[in-house]
Structure 1
Amino acid sequence: MKQSYSGPVKAIILDWAGTTVDHGSLAPVRVLQQVFAGRGVPISEEEARRDMGVLKIDHIRKILFGANVSERWRKAVGHDPIEADVESLFANFVPLQLECLVKYSTVIDGVAAAVARVRKRGIKIGSTTGYTRPMLDMILRPAAEQGYRPDCAITPDDVGAGRPHPWMIYANAIRLQVEPLEAIVKVGDTPVDIEEGLRAGVWTIGVARTGNMIGLSVEDFAVLTPAQQASRLENARAALSAAGAHEVIDAVADLEPALDAIQARIRKGERP
């Protein structure tokens, strides 16, 4: 029987939009709504956010073939949605998303400092995303200029499929030269981030406040009443816990206590 790993956390793998950049994960939502509205099929923010975190063409497919949207598509366009419609919508989405990304590439407060502190503990920094390679490349330089530069940045394009498949995490492990998988922690703001980590056999941390589960900019979250903030945070934390997150934090700035909790569990002989 394989002996449980009892060593240190060696790497964390961070999501991008809503976790390290773009507070509220606004860029994908705004463009998805724009693309569908352009076909005469407006979608709600909830519909745009429901499957956030997967590869963007897969995200469009899930929206389009959802019962409510497919019915509205049929009425507006005159036929049931087909795969060619997915490809056409994605072709419209890509240039608009590329245009939008720099505007929404601000590194979330506390991320750069938290990552620097984690690095001092000898932990490597990887990343995965639902963005394509050209989209992520638009974010890498602005993020680096703001103090956040992961050691590894993998996209679905690099491995042939996106979340919830675990391939991007495996690619991070290979490029970072980190093993075993039990020494890795995946950090992200959507249930599919958590599923990606669980499928890969790594520890997972959900991010509640800054990401898709609340979906608000810093300014919009700040104007909520304390009761509204508390309610939204409670719901976001509960959803990420229900997805299987081993720990849930409000922001990457709060990362270290969660890593310490996971490290304690590793020392007790627990496995993800």
Structure 2
Amino acid sequence: MTPTTPTTSTTPATGRPVSLVVLDMAGTTVADDGLVELAFSRAAAELGVEPGSADHAAKLDYVRATMGESKITVFRALFGAEDLAVRGNAAFEKAYAELLDAGRCAPLPGAADAIAELRADGRKVVLTTGFSRTTQDAILDVLGWRQIADLTLCPADAGRGRPYPDMVLAALLRTGTDSVHEVAVAGDTAYDMLSGVRAGAAIVAGVTTGAHPAARLREAGATHVLGSVAELPALVGGL
């Protein structure tokens, strides 16, 4: 289930300044110390997947490959039946919240400053996630980030999660942004890239602080690949 789009190396010449920046959270602006894998392992065990088994390893590989995708969609792909997917996703969210309470979550270096700089320059910033609203809010609370962005969105707020463009387009609509050509998207996964490409964003920037390497980000359509989100204000401001 690897998204593929033609590789691009330059930003489309739109003649418009970027007025909206849509940022992923885990792996892009937030370090979560492997909590997704740990929470998935707990959830899978509740559904009868034996830890250390070949089935567990295969499912965990799929989770790693689909980082950035809506979590309920991942559980549907792995367990098929809707009741199992819903149970698994609920167990995942519960486990993630418990692990968050253990303090295993922090801003990535330079992320908060980058968001502040983007907003100081007059750009709207929207934080997005593949988690539920409950989990997204829990992360924001742990970080003290409730007021850091203009808006936060999860898949349920927009219709569908990544790799669909819904969250990017919902961000555009809810911030009153005039055109997709004024949008920059940044994330650490191929699914972030594909959602930005499908939304028509002018900049689709991959960062290498998270799940997927530079080559996969480019394969999925990244217009730029950055070492971290801290480099994004300079990129956006220089185009």
| Range class of TM-score, shorter chain | 0.7 to 0.9
Alignment partner of 1:190 is 2:205: no
Residue 74 of structure 2 is aligned with which of 56, 59, 77?
59
Quote the offset at 1:142 in angstroms. 2.8
Quote the offset at 1:48 in angstroms. 2.5
Distance 1:33 1:180, change over 3 A: same
Between 117-126 and 149-158, report the one with greater CA deviation: 117-126
- Aligned counterparts, 1:1-150, within 5 A: 5-22=14-31, 26-38=34-46, 39-42=48-51, 43-44=56-57, 45-64=60-79, 82-102=81-101, 103-144=103-144, 149-150=148-149
Distance 1:88 1:116, change over 3 A: closer
Alignment partner of 1:256 is 2:233: yes
Paired residue type of 1:157: A
CA contact (8 A) 1:13 1:127 kept: yes
Larger Rg belongs to: 1
Paired residue secondary structure (1:60)? helix
* Residue of structure 2 equivalent to 1:227: none
Percent identity reads: 31
Distance 1:167 1:40, change over 3 A: closer
Quote the offset at 1:237 in angstroms. 0.8
Paired residue type of 1:259: V
* Residue of structure 2 equivalent to 1:76: none
Quote the offset at 1:257 in angstroms. 3.7
Paired residue type of 1:118: L
Paired residue secondary structure (1:153)? strand
Runs of at least 5 residues in structure 1 that lack an aligned partner in the other structure: 65-80, 214-235, 264-272
TM-score, scaled relative to structure 2: 0.83
Paired residue secondary structure (2:126)? strand
Q: For residues 218-244 of structure 1, what are the alpha-carbon distances to aligned partners after superposition, in whole Å with 9 as ceiling and x for unaligned?
A: xxxxxxxxxxxxxxxxxx111101111
CA contact (8 A) 2:39 2:95 kept: yes
Residue 218 of structure 2 is aligned with which of 241, 265, 268?
241
Quote the offset at 1:148 in angstroms. 7.3
Question: After the TM superposition, which segments of 4 or more aligned residues of structure 1 sit over 6 Å from their partners?
Answer: none
Quote the offset at 1:23 in angstroms. 5.1
Quote the offset at 1:61 in angstroms. 2.1
Between the aligned partners of 2:130 and 2:105, the Cα distance in structure 1 is 15
Between the aligned partners of 1:90 and 1:176, the Cα distance in structure 2 is 30
Aligned residues, how many? 218
Quote the offset at 1:85 in angstroms. 2.1
Between 101-110 and 243-252, report the one with greater CA deviation: 101-110
RMSD: 2.1
Paired residue type of 1:172: A
Between the aligned partners of 1:160 and 1:7, the Cα distance in structure 2 is 28
CA contact (8 A) 1:143 1:149 kept: no
Distance 1:116 1:141, change over 3 A: same
Paired residue secondary structure (2:144)? helix
Larger % of strand: which? 2
Between the aligned partners of 2:226 and 2:78, the Cα distance in structure 1 is 28
Quote the offset at 1:123 in angstroms. 1.5
